[in-house]
Amino acid sequence: MKKLLFLATIGTGFALLQSCERETPPTDKPDNKPADTIAMLSLKFKPVFGGQTLTFGGMDFTKSDGEKMQFDQFKILLSDFNLIRPDNSKVKLGDGFVYADFKAGIVSTKHINMPEGDYKGVSFVIGLDSATNHGDPAVWPAEHPLNPLHNGLHWGWAGGYIFSMLDGNYVPAAGGSSRAFSFHMATMRYIRRYTVDGNFTITKRKHTLNVQIDALEYFQNPHAISFVRDGGMSHSTGSEIGLMDRIFTNMEDFATLKNIE
């Protein structure tokens, strides 16, 4: 089990986050200072499938049950992203919202004037608090993680955002033609806070904090998900909820803090 703790809450009407600042807080302004006098941090995500770098377009990945997979989309939407100090106090990155589109290469965010010192990990929430999730998406600026034209994750017909999108095709272990899979995690049922352990230090220079996101962990530990047996689709509603519940439980270990450079 990786060093990842979580608190999971399932149920509607869960008020998860305190109010967040809007874009570009003062700590993200460069102040025209030389680079070697400013503590700068890039938060960078890397998608993997077990031990393999995750790529798109080829049937290149195999689960333990022999089902082969090809990825067409992999996106996540996070909120309340913080660095954790040794005394458990937190430093929020910007306004806390983070969007990653692994196929499009939208995998990093930059932050200026970070507080120097030692840290023992990061914390974040997959998903959004109810007020933000069901608020007016038109209020967000063009490049903001919550702008629906930027992220393509707003579920207009159902209300709210998709928190995780994983789409592609698979071939059964017995062989045959490929079939589509689609897992869109949404609704207030699927909110979880993660705390990812890992010691690092920020000083007056450029840093890159590398976080690994493992797509294989959607489909294993503790529930072995077989597309042939369990189905290849869940959009978090109706009769598909049971399958998404098992995937959501599996995601306890989907994030790992690898290193800081």
Check whether the bond before 86 is cis (ω within 30° of 0).
no
Q: Is residue 203 part of a domain?
A: yes
Q: Is residue 22 part of a domain?
A: no
116 touches 204 (CB < 8 A): yes
Q: Is residue 26 part of a domain?
A: no
Query: CA–CA separation, 228 vs 219, rounded Å?
Result: 13
Q: Is residue 27 part of a domain?
A: no
Q: Which domain holds residue 217?
A: 4-12+42-260
Q: What is the pLDDT of residue 13?
A: 36
Q: Is residue 33 part of a domain?
A: no
DSSP for the chain reads --SEEEEEE-STT---------S--GGG--TT--GGGS-EEEEEEEEEETTEEP-SSS--EE-TTS-EEEEEEEEEEEEEEEEE-TTS-EEE-TTS-EEEETTTTB-EEEE-SPPPEEEEEEEEEES--HHHHTS-GGGS-TTSTT-HHHH--B-TTTSSBEEEEEEEEEE-TT--S-EEEEEEEESTTSEEEEEEEEEEEE-SSEEEEEEEEEGGGGS-SS----HHHH-SEE-SSGGGHHHHHHHHHHGGGSEEEEEE-
233 touches 165 (CB < 8 A): no
pLDDT tens by residue, 232-261: 999 998 899 999 999 999 999 999 999 888
Q: What is the pLDDT of residue 101?
A: 96
Q: How many domains does the chain have?
A: 1
Q: Is residue 19 part of a domain?
A: no
The radius of gyration of the chain from alpha carbons, rounded to an integer in Å, stands at 19
Give just the sign of the alpha carbon dihedral 36, 41, 150, 58.
positive
pLDDT tens by residue, 54-86: 999 999 999 999 999 999 999 999 999 999 999
Q: Is residue 78 part of a domain?
A: yes
* Ordered per-residue pLDDT tens for the chain, 261 residues: 444 433 333 333 333 333 333 333 334 444 444 445 578 899 999 999 998 999 999 999 999 999 999 999 999 999 999 999 999 999 999 999 999 999 999 999 999 889 999 999 999 999 999 999 999 999 999 999 999 999 999 987 567 999 999 999 999 999 989 999 999 999 999 999 999 999 999 998 899 999 999 999 999 999 999 999 999 999 998 899 999 999 999 999 999 999 888
Residue 234 corresponds to which amino acid? Answer: S
Query: CA–CA separation, 49 vs 215, rounded Å?
Result: 5
Q: What is the pLDDT of residue 181?
A: 97
Q: Is residue 180 part of a domain?
A: yes
Predicted TM-score of the model (pTM): 0.83
